Amino acid sequence: MIFSEKYECMDRKELKRLQGERLRDAARRAYENVPFYRKKFDECGVKPEHIQSLDDIVKLPFTVKDDFRQTYPFGLFAVPQREIVRVHASSGTTGKPTVVGYTREDIGIWAETSARTLACGGGTAEDVLQVAYGYGLFTGGLGLHYGGERLGAMVIPMSGGNSMKQLMLMQDFGTTLLACTPSYSLQLAEEAAAEGFDIKKTKLKAGFFGAEPWTEAMRSQIEQRLPVKAIDIYGLSEVTGPGVASECLEQHGLHVFEDHYYPEVINPSTGEPVAPGERGELVFTCLTKQAIPLIRYRTRDLTTLDETLCPCGRTSRRMARVTGRTDDMLIIRGVNVFPSQIETVLMKIDGVEPHYLIVVDKSGVLDELEIKVEVSENLFSDEVKKLEALRRRIFEELRSVLSVSPKISLVEPKSIERSVGKAKRVIDRRDLK
246 is a contact residue toward ligand DLL (CB under 6 A): no
Shortest reach from residue 301's CB to ligand DLL, in Å: 5
Which backbone phi and psi does 373 adopt, to 5 degrees? -125, 130
Pick from 101, 123, 241, 354: which binds ligand DLL (CB under 6 A)? 241
- Spatial CA neighbour of 238 closest among 160, 282, 298, 181: 298
Asked if residues 356 and 372 have their Cβ atoms less than 8 Å apart, the reply is: yes
Q: What share of the chain is helix, strand, coil (3-state, %, to 5)?
A: 35, 25, 40
Sign of the Cα torsion 119, 125, 131, 137 reads: positive
Q: Which residue has its beta carbon closest to ligand DLL?
A: 210
Pick from 242, 351, 354, 406: which binds ligand DLL (CB under 6 A)? 242
DSSP letter, residue 316: S
Asked if residues 121 and 231 have their Cβ atoms less than 8 Å apart, the reply is: yes
- Which ranges of 269-383 does DSSP label H, i.e. alpha helix? 339-347, 377-380
Q: How far is CA 227 from the centre of its chain?
A: 22
The number of residues in the chain equals 433
187 is a contact residue toward ligand DLL (CB under 6 A): no
Radius of gyration (C-alpha) of the chain in whole angstroms: 22
Pick from 31, 68, 234, 356: which binds ligand DLL (CB under 6 A)? 234
| H or E element in which residue 285 lies | strand 280-286
3 is a contact residue toward ligand DLL (CB under 6 A): no
301 is a contact residue toward ligand DLL (CB under 6 A): yes
Shortest reach from residue 231's CB to ligand DLL, in Å: 9
- Which ranges of 3-64 does DSSP label H, i.e. alpha helix? 5-8, 12-33, 35-43
Q: What is the phi-psi region of residue 309: left when phi exceeds 0, alpha when psi lies from -120 to 50, beta otherwise?
A: beta
Pick from 21, 191, 212, 382: which binds ligand DLL (CB under 6 A)? 212
351 is a contact residue toward ligand DLL (CB under 6 A): no
Pick from 22, 40, 325, 425: which binds ligand DLL (CB under 6 A)? 325
215 is a contact residue toward ligand DLL (CB under 6 A): no
- Compute the half-sphere exposure of residue 424: CA atoms within 13 Å on the CB side of its CA: 7
Which whole-number Å values give the CA distances from 68 to 71, 96, 153, 319, in the listed order?
5, 9, 35, 25
Shortest reach from residue 114's CB to ligand DLL, in Å: 9
Choose one: 158-166, 210-218, 394-402, 407-415; the region binding ligand DLL (CB under 6 A): 210-218
133 is a contact residue toward ligand DLL (CB under 6 A): yes
Give the CA diameter of the chain: 73
Pick from 20, 147, 160, 210: which binds ligand DLL (CB under 6 A)? 210
232 is a contact residue toward ligand DLL (CB under 6 A): yes
The amino acid sitting at 399 is R
- Spatial CA neighbour of 78 closest among 35, 130, 137, 136: 35
146 is a contact residue toward ligand DLL (CB under 6 A): no
End-to-end CA distance of the chain, in Å?
Answer: 53
Pick from 189, 233, 266, 398: which binds ligand DLL (CB under 6 A)? 233
Partners of 373 in the β-ladder: 356, 410
113 is a contact residue toward ligand DLL (CB under 6 A): no
> From residue 82 to residue 101, what is the string marking binding to ligand DLL with x (rule CB under 6 A)?
--------x-----------
Choose one: 132-140, 345-353, 356-364, 374-382; the region binding ligand DLL (CB under 6 A): 132-140
211 is a contact residue toward ligand DLL (CB under 6 A): yes
∠ CA 302-303-304, nearest 5°, is 145
Choose one: 147-155, 205-213, 265-273, 307-315; the region binding ligand DLL (CB under 6 A): 205-213
Choose one: 12-20, 55-63, 206-214, 312-320; the region binding ligand DLL (CB under 6 A): 206-214
Q: Which residues in the 354-413 window bind ligand DLL by CB under 6 A?
A: none
- Residue number with CB closer to ligand DLL (181 or 408): 181
| CA atoms of 209 and 182, how far apart (whole Å) | 5
Q: Which residues in the 281-300 window bind ligand DLL by CB under 6 A?
A: 299
Shortest reach from residue 413's CB to ligand DLL, in Å: 26
Q: How many chain residues bind ligand DLL (CB under 6 A)?
A: 21
Choose one: 66-74, 164-172, 234-242, 272-280; the region binding ligand DLL (CB under 6 A): 234-242
Pick from 186, 236, 292, 319: which binds ligand DLL (CB under 6 A)? 236
The amino acid sitting at 215 is T
Q: By the criterion CB under 6 A, which residues form the site for ligand DLL?
A: 90, 133, 139-140, 143, 210-213, 232-237, 241-242, 299, 301, 322, 325
